[in-house]
Structure 1
């Protein structure tokens, strides 16, 4: 993968894969909802995805999240 991804961003992807809402992610990471929404938007752009589902699918397709392990973990 050519894209840089820090640990916090990867954790955000894992939370999206678990179906967490922006509000829940913000609460768990001790961030504002605005900050989480902005970071998700930047990740969507970075990985050329149209929505959260595509972003999660990208990570599964590139074996950055493991299929068959639910919920995915870091």
Structure 2
């Protein structure tokens, strides 16, 4: 995928999210991931990631937000 160089992934309920290194480090620091690299609190994840990571993952984010209503 273009523009995905240096990106890391975390698992969420609907798939994998690509994060930049800074966002990934912040997610790990905030202990949002478990031992399997899974994020259960997607709302906290969305509040933590930068606009660039939000844009790259927009279809997945929209799907998750739509399914939680």
After TM superposition, is the score higher than 0.5? no
Larger RCO of the pair (alpha carbons < 8 Å, separation 6+): 1
